[in-house]
Amino acid sequence: MPNSRENLLPAVDPAYCKGCARCIDACLHNCIEMGNEINPLTGLTPVILHLEDCTHCGLCVTACPEPYGLHMDSITDDYSAVRPETFDGVVKTRPKAASIPSTKIPINPGKPILIKGTYASSIGAVLAGCRHFYGYPITPSTEGAELMAKLLPNLDGIFIQAVSEVAAINMLYGTGGAGLPCMTFTSSPGFSLMLEGISYMIGSEVPSVIVNIMRGGPGLGNIAPEQSDLKLVCHGLGHGNTQCVVLAPATPQEMLDLTMLAFELTFKYRNPVIIIGDGYLGQITGKVSLPDYMIQPGLPDWAVYGDAGHRGNLIASIDITEPDLEARNIRLNHKYDTMIKAEQRSDSFFCEDAEILLVAMNTPAQMAKGAVQQLRSEGIKVGLFRPITAWPFPVDALSKLIPQIRQIVVVEASNGQLEDEIRLSLSKAGVTQLPPISFVRRFGGILPQTHEIVEKIHALEGVVA
């Protein structure tokens, strides 16, 4: 018998109902009420239907924004009957999306250009295929966002100045969830505001690139350079069991190169990637060579994207049952272990025969490099070990150097955050026989200077100037 309105009733599919309550408002006969149980598959609470007084008007179905949330159907409580694959009565298999890989497109790199660090990072993002930027201006990172605002509209991209950092990070959550390369620039206080969203993105395994141009703290601090957020990016990315690859460039060239790498890694691991630069690095101008390729992004099969193949995908960080949440954490831990093995990066400068080892990253590494050159000219065997990944800390490379080193000097623009990372990483790696560790530290917006590092080594070595 063909269906007439009288023998049809609305049916809700809990897998697609978002619990938005529009159907409740639409029904004049109070046939629909909010549910009281979270659907463990979606983390959302679907509505409940009481259809004794239903007049078959269909207004609820019209009000439902979800294509498969609510449908008029034969009287049934079998939800499989109203799944999209059976709408026309013919069982069909919904097409499953296949991953479309990214492709490299050759370009002419042209001559090197002179640009500041934040601009270099923006250009790296565009070359990596990023066409979605969300951010809230905060010095000293704003120029990166400013350049994206100029570039993206000409590239069919999206630039949104969000109402806050909280809004910006959640826009990244949505865009990354759709499988699209996206990024933000921020600075320390803004980064703090993003932490909740970052935790959600890690839990949901959503990619995005977050560039944090660190400034003086705590609190509002000032707008001068500091390495104030090392502790935060390595051990404090919001609530729960959270880790991200953290890249620490030292030059404008690395701002570009590591931004491109960040986009590769964020999709490789389905995990946000963080770039930390200090305020000086963000503002300093340097010579930057462009690569000879750019990336045309693909589309992963897991993306919550608006086509039929991706329609069945769901991204959420909620697992109501304890075993499910434990399983998710175990899966994340496996991913972190893979990152630790595969993604440690560092740079060594005059380390082969070094007896005194400077350890520094970001701009202080440049100051330390100058000190190594000066001290080497005096015959003092000094080398520089520079972590390029703050997390995972490149402990494998550092451990190999330890036996030949009689003194470590940590050079940093923070009150010992890098030294803590070194001690913790070596301890976890089982390296217990450490040489003495001393430091050159400045903070509050002041970077350690080359002459301060040289004076420190002279003092340790008993050299009278």
Which of 59-67, 181-189, 290-298, 410-418 is the region at the interface with ligand SF4 (rule: CB under 6 A)? 59-67
Question: CB of 312: closest distance to ligand SF4 in angstroms?
Answer: 16
Question: Which two three-digit tokens encode residue 393?
Answer: 């800390």
Q: What is the dihedral of CA 228, 233, 239, 240, to 10 degrees?
A: -150
- Answer yes or no: are the C-beta atoms of 313 and 247 closer than 8 Å: no
**How near is the Cβ of 217 to ligand SF4 at its closest, in Å?**
43
Q: Which of 58, 309, 303, 354 shows the shortest CA–CA distance to 175?
A: 303
Q: Which stretch binds ligand SF4 (CB under 6 A): 64-72, 99-107, 129-137, 290-298?
A: 64-72
- Residue closer to ligand SF4, measured from CB, 27 or 281: 27
Sole binder of ligand SF4 in the list 15, 26, 314, 402 (CB under 6 A): 26
Instruction: Provide the CA 280 distance to its chain's centre, in angstroms.
Output: 22
The nearer residue to ligand SF4, 34 or 434, going by C-beta atoms, is 34
| 334's tokens | 């496996």
Nearest distance in Å: CB 84, ligand SF4: 14
Residue 72 or 171: the one with the smaller Cβ distance to ligand SF4 is 72
Other beta carbons within 10 Å of 426: 20
The residue (of 44 and 398) whose beta carbon lies closer to ligand SF4 is: 44
What are the CA-CA distances from residue 252 to residues 109, 115, 129, 278 (Å)? Answer: 16, 7, 19, 11
Q: Give me the least distance between CB of 173 and ligand SF4, in Å please.
A: 20
- Retrieve residue 89's tokens: 């009565």
Sole window of 24-32, 136-144, 361-369, 453-461 interacting with ligand SF4 (rule: CB under 6 A): 24-32
- Which of 15, 38, 48, 54 forms a contact with ligand SF4 (CB under 6 A)? 54
Nearest to ligand SF4 of 13, 343 (CB atom): 13
CB closer to ligand SF4 out of 24 and 402:
24
The phi and psi torsions of 188 (rounded to 5 degrees) equal -35, -55
Alpha carbon distances (Å) from 161 to 125, 149, 334, 344: 17, 9, 36, 34
Query: Is 11 near ligand SF4 (CB under 6 A)?
Result: no
Count CB-CB contacts under 10 A for residue 114.
Answer: 10
- Interface map 33-52 toward ligand SF4 (x if CB under 6 A): -------------xx-----
- Binding string, residues 68-107; x marks residues near ligand SF4 by CB under 6 A: -xx-------------------------------------
Q: State how far the Cα of 318 lies from the Cα of 324, in Å rounded to an integer.
A: 9
**59 binds ligand SF4, rule: CB under 6 A:** yes
- Residue 61 or residue 97: which is nearer to ligand SF4 going by CB? 61
Instruction: Give the interface size with ligand SF4 as a residue count (CB under 6 A).
Output: 28
Tokens for 84?
A: 């999209």
Residue 12 interacting with ligand SF4 (CB under 6 A): yes
What is d(CA 172, CA 197) in angstroms, rounded to the nearest whole number? 9
Q: Smaller CB distance to ligand SF4: residue 14 or 364?
A: 14
What minimum distance in Å lies between the beta carbon of 305 and ligand SF4?
A: 19
Q: Which of 11, 27, 274, 357 binds ligand SF4 (CB under 6 A)?
A: 27
For residue 24, the minimal CB distance to ligand SF4 (Å) is: 7
Least separation in angstroms between CB 45 and ligand SF4: 9
Does position 58 interact with ligand SF4 (CB under 6 A)? The reply is: yes
* Residue 23, C-beta contacts closer than 8 angstroms, at least 6 positions apart: 10, 12, 32, 47, 60, 61, 63, 64, 70
46/249 with CB nearer ligand SF4: 46
State which residue, 84 or 298, has the beta carbon closest to ligand SF4: 84
Minimum distance between the CB of residue 63 and ligand SF4, rounded to whole angstroms?
6
Residue 292 CB contacts under 8 Å (≥ 6 apart), including other chains: 106, 107, 108, 109
- Please tell me whether residue 17 binds ligand SF4 under the rule CB under 6 A: yes
Nearer to ligand SF4, 50 or 239 (CB): 50
Distant-in-sequence, close-in-space partners of 283: CB < 8 Å, separation ≥ 6: 116, 117, 118, 140, 143
The first and second tokens of residue 339, run together, are 């990152």
> What is the token pair recorded at 17?
């109902």
Residue identified by tokens 């750019």 is 294
Residue 60: Cβ-neighbour burial (10 angstroms; 0-12, 13-18, 19+):
buried
User: Per CB under 6 A, does 20 bind ligand SF4?
Assistant: yes
* Residue number with CB closer to ligand SF4 (59 or 193): 59
Residue 333 within binding range of ligand SF4, rule CB under 6 A? no
Q: What is the C-alpha to C-alpha distance for residues 180 and 300, in angstroms, rounded to an integer?
A: 9
Say how far apart CA 352 and CA 23 lie, in whole Å.
Answer: 71
Judged by the rule CB under 6 A, the positions of this chain that interact with ligand SF4 are 10, 12, 17-23, 26-27, 29, 31-32, 46-47, 54-60, 63-64, 66, 69-70
